[in-house]
Chains A and B, each alone.
Chain A
């Protein structure tokens, strides 16, 4: 039973030795059952990984096939790489327009969310004034309300303001609905920053506004990055808000455009073009995630751990 002290064996023999090695745990009892458990649970881990990755690979593969082979053999490899699916989706199926609209809307609303969210959060975290708690809970409460309820009147509010089916209108709505989490997250972040530096700047004659933009914001950069990634993904992937508030075919954003595409290409039977569009929308986000993996994970989980 000295095997625990030797370096792990080569990959190939791992499964065989795992069972044999387990009884080497400090207590003998339950060892055999632990071995079965180990094989079972490692098997589950592998199975889930396959279940996650396989549908994505299937979509990528299908986007390179022609329509006939999609219909006849769902799992067959493409006879050759049909890149024309991709160019058809990009130009004829308006994927390029959808991308452009999404980049415009998300770009503007992300900046707006971060600027307005950090301003509100800074004031709420650092200054005492009447109604401070009330305003804070007003913002934070927005996280748990069902958005669908507000969308019914909001549709008509936007219509009256002439903002329905416009990209600036969508930007304002994205910002407003991103504020609850942003304010919640950044308020607790600003509370953790030291007060002495801001006080020193203030003593040196900097105004509150200047202190905020030149001293506090740079100090809050890690928090801004986390909440920025969170909002970027949320806004880039947003489906419900544009479905209700932005129905003009020329102004559709990516996720709703794809659903539109599914309906129209479904009629035409152009499944290959549709899969190309789907994969086109999928890959940039997945690639960005793999590259910035640590930051993305930190950004998305930070809020829930607070």
Chain B
């Protein structure tokens, strides 16, 4: 297998690697470099300014607002989404009552639920955001139409109300991602041997105990990678798309929904402050890596073989 090996390796790697270097790696390196300049993005000239952008960042109230919201996203969204998904997938796979042929089974219609729950995952986040923008509409929207039918006389303005807007956005992100994790965890749970459950059942364990003592520990690796994945979505493209499409401004009302990726976008492409935008981007990079490191560290346990 050695003959002409290096020529072959080089020949196969050169195109993908070149494409990746030009469009992904190089811009990342440039971005970090630009964060130390006063580049506007509008003209090619710029000068080095040292840490000026970073000191500006620390005294920029709007940055701290976007930071707060992004941190809230990255803590709450994985927690809520993964808890719901774990609950649903446990019910779908293990939660059913005993039947004649199998001591352990999911509830009736588990296959149907899995198909339905997954629907939002195949839709573009842009479509989902648009759909909910209308559903949240205070006058013509589905939500308030429904609430009024129930007899609520003065329903909230949802996206128009600074108190509610951020929660509305988060609800949409939960809505669109739970199904994916239900299916992911279901696949993981189906590889846990049935005997474990049967043994627990014989010992008289309730379903809650079974979940915390058997399912969760054996599923832990999947939960952990799901957690990181959801966190990256909550800090990245999904959060950007939902906020940018759904909210007024976007980012409003009264900056109540601004998140870090949107703030980068606005500074770079609307305000002509490309260098400052990359500085915010570097902060976003730090938050992302810090989050991943914390989850990996908190979630580290002995790997269970079965």
A interface list, Cβ under 8 A from B: 4-8, 14, 18, 21-22, 24-27, 29-30, 33-34, 37-38, 41-42, 44-45, 48-49, 51-56, 58-59, 62, 70-71, 73-75, 116-117, 119-120, 122-123, 127, 129, 135, 138-139, 142-157, 172-173, 175-177, 179-180, 183, 199, 202, 207-209, 212, 233, 236-240, 243-244, 254-256, 258-259, 262, 271, 275, 278, 281-282, 285-286, 288-290, 293, 296-297, 300-301, 304-305
Contacts and interface: CB of A to CB of B under 8 A. Distances in A.
A84 to B, nearest CB: 20
B196 interface: no
A172 B127 contact: no
Chain B interface secondary structure, helix, strand, loop or mixed? helix
Given A26-B202, A146-B288, A139 B95 contact: no
Contacts of A278: 127, 130-131
Contact of B16 (A56, A119, A145, A300): A119
Contacts of B202: 26
B211 to A, nearest CB: 11
Given A75-B145, A146-B284, A297-B183, A152 B19 contact: no
Given A27-B204, A150-B28, A297 B118 contact: yes
Given A45-B107, A149-B264, A278-B130, A209 B201 contact: no
A304 B225 contact: yes
B216 interface: no
B160 interface: no
A146 B285 contact: yes
B179 interface: yes
Given A45-B91, A73-B145, A239-B126, A117 B264 contact: no
A123 B127 contact: no
B208 to A, nearest CB: 8
Interface in B102-127: 107-108, 112-127
Size bracket of the B interface: 35 or more
A119 B15 contact: yes
B113 A49 contact: yes
Nearest to A76: B145
Interface of B: 1, 4-6, 8-9, 11-13, 15-17, 19-20, 22-28, 30-31, 34, 41, 84, 87-88, 91-92, 95, 97-100, 107-108, 112-127, 130-135, 139-142, 144-146, 149, 175, 178-180, 183-184, 187-188, 201-202, 204, 206-208, 222, 225-226, 228-229, 232, 235-237, 240-241, 244-245, 261, 264-265, 268-269, 274, 277-278, 281-282, 284-285, 288-289, 292
Contact of B278 (A33, A71, A149, A179): A149
Given A59-B131, A244-B269, A304-B222, A75 B146 contact: yes
Nearest to B144: A74
B288 A41 contact: no
A45 B92 contact: yes
A255 B204 contact: no
Contact of A175 (B19, B139, B244, B282): B19
B264 A157 contact: no
A173 B22 CA distance: 9
Contacts of A244: 265, 269
A150 B274 CA distance: 11
A171 B182 CA distance: 32
A122 B142 contact: no
